[in-house]
Structure 1
Amino acid sequence: MHSSNKIYVAGHRGMVGSAIIRKLSAAGYGNLVTRSSTELDLRNQDAVADFFETEQPEYIFLAAAKVGGIVANNTWRADFLYDNLMIESNIIHQAHKAGVKKLLFLGSSCIYPKLAPQPLKEEYLLSGLLEPTNEPYAIAKIAGIKLCEAYRDQYGCNFISVMPTNLYGFNDNYDLESSHVLPALLRKFHEAKEHSAPQVVIWGTGSPLREFMHADDLADACLFLMNNYNGRSPVNVGVGEDISIIQLAELIKDLVGFKGRIVLDATKPDGTPRKILDVSKLHALGWRHKISLKEGLRQIYEDFKTTTLEKSIA
Structure 2
Amino acid sequence: MTPHAGAAGRIDRRSFIALSAAALALPGSLRAAPAYPTKPVRIVVPYGPGGIADVTMRLVADQLSKKFNQQFFIENRPGAGGVVGIQAALSAPPDGYTMMMIGGGLCIAKALFKHLPYDIEKDIQPVSTTASYGLVIVSKTGSKYQTIKDVVAAAKAKPGSLNVGTINAGSTQNLSAELFRIRAGIDVAIVPYKTTPELASAVLRGDVDVAFEYFAGLQSPIVNKQVTVLATTGETRATNLPDVPTVMEAGVPDYDVTSWNGLGVHAGTPAELVALLHNAIDEALKSDRVQTFSKKAGMDAKGMAPAAMKTLIKSDVATWTEVIQKAGIKKR
TM-score for the superposition, normalised by structure 2: 0.33
Higher RCO by CA contacts (8 Å cutoff, separation 6 or greater): 2
TM-score for the superposition, normalised by structure 1: 0.35
Please state which structure has a larger fraction of its residues in strand.
2
